[in-house]
Amino acid sequence: MPKEKLKTIYVCTQCGETSPRWLGRCPSCGAWNTMAEDVVAEPAKPSAGGARTAVRTPGQTSLQPLKLKNISTTEEKSRIVTGIQELDRVLGGGIVLGSVILIGGEPGIGKSTILLQLCGEVSGRRSVLYVTGEESVRQIKLRALRLGVPQENISLVADGDVDEICGLIEQTKPGLVVIDSIQTMRCTDIASSSGTVSQVKESTSRFLAVAKSLEIPIFIVGHVNKDGAIAGPKVMEHIVDTVLYFEGDKTLPYRVLRAVKNRYGSTNEIGMFDMTGKGLEQIDNPSQVMLEGRPVGISGTCVACVMEGTRPVLSEVQALAGKTAAPAPRRTASGFDYNRMYLLLAVLERRAGYDFSGRDVYVNIVGGLRLDETACDLPVCLAMASSLLDLPIDEKTVAIGEVGLGGEIRSVPHLETRLREAQRVGFTAAIVPRHNLKLLEAREFAGLKLIGVSYLREAVNAIKLKQ
Ligand code: TYD
Ligand code: MG
């Protein structure tokens, strides 16, 4: 057999595109500076006779299709409920047996911490294998002690050889496996070093094969690295069953776990955790956390209610419109779409008559959430108008509604769920689209006054009236 030749290629760490030359910008996904060097084995050129053997015989196959109706689903049995409710919800009701779950996130965000806590929860019922390629077993032991994780049923191994680890899984058949992290894993038969695209992809595929054949769920940690020096979770997203991202500002104590892909559940759900001295704690009441420390009686702040999956979360929108010294006013938005802010400013100017020319406008969503929903248009407009007029909005008022280009307030989905949340947290008034209001019965919301508005001007008048 001819020997395989090694060749150097360049692989985009964002999307996996390959190129024989180094490129500053990936031609496929357009990302800059993400092409990393990789060594792959060039497949040996088949000899003239060898190529023929690959041609199939017509009409022959070994595949056996199954009738859809004959395939059994024992859904209830095939999920492990972890006991960490925030995680269960994001996973779609627990860990599916045989699934491979990727947890991506920046280094230091808490991936190892949440997985060790998960191991602790599951270890009461199943044996757990924790594979670490980053830390020593002693370090994990110290962390486990700090987190108060039960240690009876958890085995540790510090290694990075994928085939050895797969062998160990096949031999010991644990009930749950954690691989921390994929960037430290290595298939010895592939020439490139660990962390390269080909290593990451191949290692993931091998773990996937073991997970499927033995029905063992495997969690894989994948570091997100902004400078693209190592292959990130993006290159393995299509291989695994579920992709979760662990996000959060490292300066803020809470973290958000978000499903980006889930073959066994919805991708809308988020889980919220608080990073404490004793590991991650679940946040049962996210609205309260988001609204903590809110300033009272100052202009330019308004409360919005966003749907994070099936859960409503109240969040504070802040705006500041100050006189500009520069020839072109400065506008920035953090946690809110920049172009959408421009659009809303144009609507406020043209349809409601508020003049923002010659003013810098800053919009900020407090607490690090990103508000992408149209239901947040109205609170953003009201916060900007409130800042311009220096008119504080009553702190117990929430605003919900989409703003159209005609300055009209349009209806939003799940209004009732949002209002229930506002009522629960103790809000006394809600500015909502009049269209939506017709479908709701006012008496259902005891203590919460519903103010229906059809136009932006009416909504601004409503906050003036509340003074
Ligand atoms: P870690 O899980 O090691 O991050 P990752 O695996 O994503 O790289 O988390 C590290 C950070 O979490 C570190 O900055 C310290 C903090 N931390 C706590 O605040 N409390 C704790 O109980 C633990 C274990 C970690
Ligand atoms: Mg870690």
DSSP state letters, 247-269? E--TTSSEEEEEEEEETTS-S--
> Rounded to the nearest whole angstrom, what is the distance from the C-alpha of residue 9 to the centroid of ligand 2?
29
Ligand 1 pocket, residue 111 CB under 6 Å: yes
329 falls in which pLDDT band (50, 70, 90)?
A: very high
| Mean pLDDT calculated for residue range 344-371 | 91
Model confidence pLDDT, tens digit, residues 45-101: 655 554 455 677 888 888 888 898 887 766 555 889 998 998 998 998 899 999 999
- At 191 the three-state DSSP class reads coil
pLDDT at 287 (0 to 100): 85
Instruction: Report the nearest-CA residue for atom 9 of ligand 1.
Output: 110
Ligand that comes closest to the CA of residue 111: 1
**Token pair in block for residue 399:** 């605003």
Q: Which has more confidence, 393 or 39?
A: 393
What is the pLDDT at residue 36?
Answer: 83
Q: Please tell me the distance from the alpha carbon of residue 62 to that of residue 94, in angstroms, as a whole number.
A: 35
Work out the pLDDT band at 194, boundaries 50, 70, 90: confident
Q: Which atom of ligand 1 is nearest to the CA of 279?
A: 22
Q: What is the pLDDT of residue 407?
A: 94
Give 248 Cα–ligand 2 centroid separation in angstroms.
15
Distance 110 CA to ligand 2 centre (A): 7
Mean pLDDT of 258-282: 87
Q: Predicted confidence band at 216 (pLDDT cuts at 50, 70, 90)?
A: very high
Q: What is the pLDDT of residue 74?
A: 63
- CA–CA separation, 208 vs 203, rounded Å? 9
Whole-prediction pTM: 0.77
Q: Rounded mean pLDDT of the chain?
A: 87
Q: Does ligand 1 lie within 6 Å of residue 150's CB atom?
A: no
Residue 247: nearest ligand to its CA?
1
Is 248 close to ligand 1, i.e. is its CB under 6 Å away?
no
* 254-262 and 270-276 strand pairing: antiparallel
pLDDT score, position 326: 85
8 A C-beta contact, residue 2 and residue 12: no
Look at the block and give the residue holding tokens 């980053």: 134
pLDDT of 298 over the 80 cut: yes
Counting residues of the chain whose pLDDT is more than 90, the rounded percentage is 50
DSSP H stretches of helix in 292-444: 338-352, 377-389, 415-425, 434-438
* 215-227 burial: b if 16+ Cβ within 10 Å, else e: ebbbbbbbbbbee
Tell me the pLDDT tens digit for each residue of 413-464.
999 889 988 998 889 999 999 988 877 765 678 888 999 999 999 999 988 7
Please tell me the predicted confidence (pLDDT) of residue 83.
87
